Amino acid sequence: MQRLERWVSPARLARALGLGESTLKRWIDQGRIPAAKTPGGHRRIRLAEVLHLLQGGGVPQAELAALGLTDRDEVSSRALAAVLGSESPERALTILEGLYAAGVRAAELADRWIAPAMQRVGRGWEAGRITITAEHRATGVMLRALYGLLRAQPVPSARAPDAVVAGLAGDPYLLAPLCVQLVLCESGLRATNFGPDTPATSLCDAITERRPAVVALSVSVPGTSGHDARVALAAACREAGSRLFVGGRGLVPDLLPDLAGAIGCRSLSEMERILRRPARVRTARSA
Ligand code: B12
């Protein structure tokens, strides 16, 4: 798997951890935090080490407790949600990049951290603990994190199979299709994300034209696009020989009969496991 080989400056890490820069530099000089020096003599810390710090490897417990991160398991969706709802939600970028740099795959990152943390943010908004502006800011930080991880993916080979991702018209949710795209990229596919609010007819046209190996539909709002549109989408996938994966918060059982031949998944980890298995070649006749 491609890892993020990113280095951060003591200033950035200090900001992310909510510590003083001089404290962090002192710990580096005392050898408590492994760091390298640039040819110009500036200290740099590898992102993988950041995770180690978050796990309690080098930062005094009091500091970690203040962050709500006392040991590895405490790099939890709860801690992430707390950071997202705080005055400095950008610290979530360091946590997510740190987890990814430490080898957590995109599917697990999304299923175990991103979705549950956003769920907590949503509950906080519903209960009046978090303002709508804070919720929007949290979404923005998550978007930045996901675009960053997407940019770090290797360019797919010319022979990589195509995949397309979309949410249907009436569905405004951005994060879920992006998470799906990241998982497909990590699985070696050349994944194009049409994003949310895609008219079903345009998606069908694109499938007919591109004949992608995989089509992934993200459903956050169950009522989107209606029966006929879903039936047409499933037919376009069968005709093109595309494997159609469907998932998302809004994937209620009633939708699946319209999407004949689709593989309904409860999580991205499930989709990733299925993608690892060889595909049966499907045609309009065999479906
Ligand atoms: C951010 C957010 C918004 C933002 C979205 C911004 C944007 N452009 O993306 C905005 C402001 C638009 C919004 C609007 C609304 N929202 Co809103 N929103 C959320 C929030 C907090 C996060 C959603 C999110 O992005 N999650 C992160 C993604 C990654 O998680 P996920 O969708 O679950 O995806 C995971 C899986 O489902 C799966 N998956 C997803 N797609 C696919 C596809 C495949 C193929 C596979 C295999 C897997 C898969 O993998 C992902 C990773 O595990 C949720 C809270 C929550 N419970 O999620 C509320 C929430 C969904 N919203 C809610 C509400 C009420 C609304 C509004 C009605 C508010 C209003 N009064 O206007 C509107 C409705 C909009 C609409 N047209 O439907 C409620 C819904 C309640 C309900 N049961 O219907 C929630 C649950 C908040 C709450 N009360 O807790 N919202």
Tell whether 287 is covered by a domain: no
Tell whether 124 is covered by a domain: yes
**One domain for residues 183 and 237:** yes
Q: Number of structural domains, the chain?
A: 2
**One domain for residues 94 and 182:** no
In order of 69, 179, 220, 222, 266, the CA distances from 252 in angstroms are 35, 20, 10, 7, 11
**One domain for residues 146 and 182:** no
**One domain for residues 49 and 73:** yes
**One domain for residues 147 and 200:** no
Tell whether 286 is covered by a domain: no
Average pLDDT of the chain? 84
Range of the domain at 212: 162-276
- Give the pLDDT score at 192: 97
**One domain for residues 169 and 87:** no
**One domain for residues 124 and 186:** no
Q: For residue 252, what are the contacts with CB-CB under 8 A and spacing of at least 6? A: 222
**One domain for residues 131 and 174:** no
Q: Final residue of a domain: which of 121, 151, 181?
A: 151
Q: Ligand 1: does its nearest atom lie under 6 Å from the Cβ of 115?
A: yes
Q: Ligand 1: does its nearest atom lie under 6 Å from the Cβ of 107?
A: no
With a cut of 60, say whether residue 60 has pLDDT above it.
no
Mean pLDDT of 163-187: 97
**One domain for residues 103 and 36:** yes
Taking only the tens place, the pLDDT of each residue in 31-56 is 877 788 888 888 888 766 666 666 54
Q: Which of 156, 207, 202 has the alpha carbon at shortest distance from 182?
A: 156
Q: Ligand 1: does its nearest atom lie under 6 Å from the Cβ of 108?
A: no
Q: Final residue of a domain: which of 131, 151, 171?
A: 151
Q: Ligand 1: does its nearest atom lie under 6 Å from the Cβ of 103?
A: no
Q: Which of 148, 156, 171 has the alpha carbon at shortest distance from 247?
A: 171
Contact 134, 85 (CB under 8 A): yes
**One domain for residues 252 and 169:** yes
- Give the pLDDT score at 77: 83
- Give the pLDDT score at 53: 64
Q: Domain with 231 in it: what CATH number?
A: 3.40.50.280
Q: What's the gap in Å between 11 CA and the centre of ligand 1?
A: 34
Alpha-helical (H) ranges within the chain are: 10-17, 21-29, 47-54, 61-67, 77-84, 91-101, 106-108, 115-126, 132-151, 175-186, 200-210, 226-240, 268-276
With a cut of 70, say whether residue 84 has pLDDT above it.
yes
Residues belonging to the chain? 287
Give the global pTM: 0.81
Q: What's the gap in Å between 221 CA and the centre of ligand 1?
A: 8
